[in-house]
Amino acid sequence: MATKTDSFAALIKAKIDKYANKIKKDEVGRVISIGDGIALVSGLEKAMLNELVVFENGTKGMILNLEAETLGIVLLGKYDDIAENSQVSRTGQVVSVPVGDQLLGRVVDAIGQPIDGGKALSSQGAMPIEKIAPGVITRQSVDAPLETGILSIDSMFPIGKGQRELIIGDRQTGKTTVAVDTILNQKGKNVKCVYVAIGQKRSTVVHIHDILEKAGAMEYTTIVSSTAGELPALIYLAPYTGITIAEYWLSKGEDVLIVYDDLSKHAVSYRTISLLLRRPPGREAYPGDVFYLHSRLLERAGRMNKENGNGSITALPIIETQAGDISAYIPTNVISITDGQLFMMTSMFNAGQRPAIDPGLSVSRVGSAAQRGYVKQTASSLKLELAQFAELSAFAQFGSDLDKETKDIIEHGKRIMEMIKQPENSPYSQLQEAVLLFAIKHHYIKWIPLDKITAFKKDLVAHFDKSKLLTELSKAGKFDDKLIEKFNAEFKDFMLEYISAIPDYKAETYGDIKELKK
In 349-433, DSSP assigns E strands to: 363-364
Torsions phi, psi for 128 (to 5 deg): -65, 145
Among positions 176, 269, 274, 333, the unique one binding Mg ion when judged by CB under 5 A: 176
Among positions 7, 33, 141, 172, the unique one binding ligand ATP when judged by CB under 6 A: 172
Contact 255, 311 (CB under 8 A): yes
Nearest-angstrom CA–CA distance, 183 and 167 = 14
Which residue number, 201 or 458, has a Cβ lying nearer to Mg ion? 201
Give least dist CB 344 to ligand ATP, A: 6
Q: Which stretch binds Mg ion (CB under 5 A): 174-182, 247-255, 359-367, 428-436?
A: 174-182
Residue 354 in contact with ligand ATP, rule: CB under 6 A: yes
Report helix, strand or coil for 505.
coil
What DSSP letter does each residue of 98-162 carry, written as one string? --SGGGTT-EE-TTS-B-SS-PPPP-TT-EES--PPPPGGGB----SEE----HHHHHHS-EETT
Among ligand ATP, Mg ion, none, partner that 362 touches (CB below 5 to 8 angstroms by kind): none
Give least dist CB 344 to Mg ion, A: 10
Identify residues 450-509 at the interface with Mg ion (CB under 5 A).
none
Mask for 393-432, x = binds ligand ATP (CB under 6 A)? -----------------------------xxx--------
What DSSP letter does each residue of 329-350 carry, written as one string? HHHHHHHHHSSEEEEEPHHHHH
Which residue number, 181 or 254, has a Cβ lying nearer to ligand ATP? 181
Helices (H), 314-403: 329-337, 346-350, 373-379, 382-396
Omega of the bond prior to 262 within 30 degrees of 0, cis?
yes
Which residue number, 103 or 151, has a Cβ lying nearer to ligand ATP? 151
Active site residue 30: no
Give least dist CB 347 to ligand ATP, A: 14
Strand-pairing partners, residue 73, are: 39, 63
Helices (H), 277-341: 290-298, 329-337
CB atoms within 10 A of CB 44: 21
CB atoms within 10 A of CB 504: 5
Helices 382-396 and 430-441, interaxial angle, to 10°? Answer: 50
Give least dist CB 360 to ligand ATP, A: 19
Q: Which stretch binds ligand ATP (CB under 6 A): 36-44, 168-176, 215-223, 240-248?
A: 168-176
Residue 173 in contact with ligand ATP, rule: CB under 6 A: yes
Which residue number, 86 or 173, has a Cβ lying nearer to ligand ATP? 173
Among positions 176, 269, 341, 378, the unique one binding ligand ATP when judged by CB under 6 A: 176
Give least dist CB 238 to ligand ATP, A: 15
Query: Which entry of 202, 365, 372, 415 is annotated as an active-site residue?
Result: 365
How distant, in Å, are the alpha carbons of 107, 169, 257, 276, 480 from that of 209? 8, 23, 16, 33, 43
Among ligand ATP, Mg ion, none, partner that 355 touches (CB below 5 to 8 angstroms by kind): ligand ATP
Please tell me the count of residues contacting ligand ATP according to CB under 6 A. Answer: 13
Catalytic residues: 365
Contact footprint for ligand ATP (CB under 6 A): 171-177, 320, 354-355, 422-424
Contact footprint for Mg ion (CB under 5 A): 176
